[in-house]
């Protein structure tokens, strides 16, 4: 199963200590899920980049209340390696885990992916009888008042 990320489509961007967190969406087949992507600051669009992804369904791991500290530490260590950080420095792992934790609220409030592929249900053509100017508009959602 292929996973696709388009970091040009994002809900938010946060940067701290050389790391950028991006609120975006992960596409897996026909499923699109909100996620937080961590990348080295300034390298968001580098094609050779291996992004670190935290999906909403795995966000609980990073929670202080119900999380799994051992799994969070293992994942933070792996993320530090991929991000080119000093992964053998405990403070680096802790700072990275805290950065993720600090943005869990942002991750959990990412809106559903904006669909660009909505079906066109109507087309409107307006002609100004005085000037002859024509305006055309496709409509993807029609609601009638009443």
The pLDDT of residue 19: 94
* 143 confidence band (pLDDT: 50, 70, 90): low
Q: Looking at the predicted structure, is the pLDDT value of residue 142 above 60? A: no
The pLDDT of residue 11: 93
pLDDT digits (tens, 9 = 90+) for 89-141: 999 999 999 999 999 999 999 998 887 666 667 778 888 888 887 777 767 66
- Spatial distance between the Cα atoms of 103 and 1, rounded to a whole number of angstroms: 28
Could you please report the per-residue DSSP string of 56-116?
Answer: GGGGGGG-TTT--HHHHHHHHHHHHHHHT--TT-HHHHHHHHHHHHHTHHHHHTPPPPPPS
DSSP H or E run through 39 = strand 31-40
pLDDT digits (tens, 9 = 90+) for 44-87: 778 888 899 999 999 999 999 999 999 999 999 999 999 999 98
pLDDT, mean of residues 10-32: 93
Residues 6+ apart with CB under 8 A from 50: 82
Reported pTM: 0.76
Give the bridge partners for 4, in sequence order. Answer: 27
CA dihedral sign, ordered 100, 102, 108, 113 = negative
């Amino acid at each position: 199963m292929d996973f696709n990320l388009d970091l040009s489509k994002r809900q938010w961007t946060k940067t701290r200590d050389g790391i950028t967190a991006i609120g975006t969406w992960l596409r897996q087949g026909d499923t699109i899920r909100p996620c937080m992507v961590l990348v080295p600051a300034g390298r968001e669009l580098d094609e050779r980049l291996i992004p670190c992804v935290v999906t909403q369904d795995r966000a609980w791991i990073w929670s202080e209340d119900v999380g799994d500290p051992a799994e969070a530490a293992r994942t933070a260590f792996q993320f530090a390696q991929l991000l080119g950080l000093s992964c053998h420095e405990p403070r680096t792992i802790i700072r990275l885990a805290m950065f993720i934790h600090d943005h869990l609220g942002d991750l959990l409030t990412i809106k559903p992916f904006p669909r660009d592929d909505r079906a066109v249900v109507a087309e409107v053509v307006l002609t100004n009888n005085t000037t002859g100017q024509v305006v055309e508009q496709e409509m993807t959602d029609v609601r009638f008042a009443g």
